[in-house]
Amino acid sequence: MYKGGHMELYQLINKTLLKSYRIIREEKDKVIPDDALNTVTYNQFNILYWIDSIENPTITELAKVMKMTKPTMTVHIQNLEKLGLTFKEKAEDDKRKSYIRISELGRKKIEKR
């Protein structure tokens, strides 16, 4: 399909584009809009409250205390992670288990109210 030096050029361009895409995707996740603190719903705020109130909360424990299903809680936690308000931390004793933690930005949201 490609003759001469064109194949090497194609591979170089493709490799550069893929690397650029990965960098952009990683950096995009770090950027949080200035109004992120104002976009948190009442339900999300309650989840932040419970994360702060329970020692080493898991999605299962949060779902139980908030009377939600685990899949519903998972979606809420994923949305809070996208906003930069929470993150997951693997348990030291059982790497299958993750604790939900509040980020510095999430802590500001709780303290703001």
Domain ranges in the chain are 1-31, 34-112
Task: Give domain 34-112's CATH architecture.
Answer: Orthogonal Bundle (1.10)
Q: Is the pTM of this model over 0.85?
A: no
Whole-number percent of the chain with pLDDT over 90: 49
Chain mean position to CA 94: 21
* 8 Å CB contact between 101 and 86: yes
- pLDDT greater than 90 at residue 108: no
- pLDDT greater than 70 at residue 96: yes
* 8 Å CB contact between 72 and 10: no
Please report the beta strands in 7-97, taking only residues with DSSP state E, as ranges in sequence order: 86-90
In the prediction, which pLDDT does 75 show? 96
User: What pLDDT, in 10s, does the model give residues 27-74?
Assistant: 765 554 545 546 778 888 899 999 999 999 999 999 999 999 999 999
The angle formed by the CA atoms of residues 94, 98 and 100, to the nearest 5 degrees, is 145
DSSP string, 23-81: HHHHHHHH---GGGGGS--HHHHHHHHHHHHSSS--HHHHHHHTT--HHHHHHHHHHHH
In the prediction, which pLDDT does 76 show? 95
